[in-house]
């Protein structure tokens, strides 16, 4: 039942693929380059907005979320849509487990983490919306099911919540990173 829903949702989104060269190119670009957009945003938040602690926690959240994704993949395999013979594939991808989406987990873990902090909550909210949309581009490309994106949303939230709850225990690490940052980027 759930797999039928997942496939129906996939086909509803992926059905738009292959009908317009412009839409295909934009969809593939956004689906593939989404994490780089988020790297640019976190660098901007770190250096320009001076929300250094929040950016460091967000980076740690991403690392933990991706590690948890790989742990899940050791115990649970879900084929990609093209491996099931479904849809239009706009971008070649290796045949590995699709659940949860690593690209989307990266973006949403970063977003959820920023959302947890008052000073970056607005950034986090806007990035969550963008991250979900970019994750859906992965469905449009034909390399992920919608539930892979939903799994990434949950994994990102779980990881952000876990790191946020551990933030006091991580303070010595954060302080060390900020001390190193101060030595490297000290203003003359």
**Residues 44-103: tens digit of each pLDDT:** 999 887 889 999 999 999 999 999 999 999 999 999 999 888 899 898 888 888 999 999
Q: Residue 27: inside a domain, yes or no?
A: yes
Q: Residue 12: inside a domain, yes or no?
A: no
Secondary structure tally for the chain: helices H, strands E = 7, 0
pTM to 2 decimals? 0.89
Q: Residue 13: inside a domain, yes or no?
A: no
The boundaries of the domain holding residue 142 are: 21-180
Q: Residue 152: inside a domain, yes or no?
A: yes
pLDDT at 55: 94
Q: Residue 35: inside a domain, yes or no?
A: yes
Q: Residue 71: inside a domain, yes or no?
A: yes
Domain count for the chain, please give it. Answer: 1
Q: Are 84 and 78 in contact (CB under 8 A)?
A: no
Q: Residue 16: inside a domain, yes or no?
A: no
Residue 138 has pLDDT above 90, yes or no: yes
Within 10 A of 144 (CB to CB), how many other CB atoms are there? 31
pLDDT digits (tens, 9 = 90+) for 10-37: 999 999 998 999 999 999 999 999 999 9
C-alpha–C-alpha distance, residues 68 and 63, integer Å? 9
Residue 102: partners with Cβ closer than 8 Å, 6 or more residues away:
66, 69, 152
């Amino acid at each position: 039942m759930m797999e039928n829903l997942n496939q129906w949702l996939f086909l509803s989104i992926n059905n738009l693929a292959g009908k317009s060269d412009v839409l295909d190119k934009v969809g593939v670009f956004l689906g593939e380059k989404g994490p780089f957009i988020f790297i640019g945003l976190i660098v901007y938040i770190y250096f320009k907005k001076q929300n250094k602690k929040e950016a460091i926690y967000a980076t740690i959240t991403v690392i933990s979320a991706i590690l948890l994704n790989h742990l899940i993949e050791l115990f649970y395999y879900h084929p990609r849509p093209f491996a099931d013979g479904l849809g239009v594939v706009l971008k070649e991808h290796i045949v590995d487990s699709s659940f949860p989406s690593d690209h989307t987990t990266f973006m949403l873990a970063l977003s959820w983490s920023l959302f947890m902090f008052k000073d970056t909550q607005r950034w986090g909210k806007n990035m969550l919306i963008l991250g979900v949309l970019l994750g859906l581009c992965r469905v449009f490309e034909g390399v992920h099911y919608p539930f892979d994106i939903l799994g990434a949303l949950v994994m990102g939230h779980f990881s952000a919540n876990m790191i946020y709850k551990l933030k006091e225990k991580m303070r010595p690490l954060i302080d060390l990173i900020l001390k190193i940052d101060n030595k490297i980027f000290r203003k003359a």
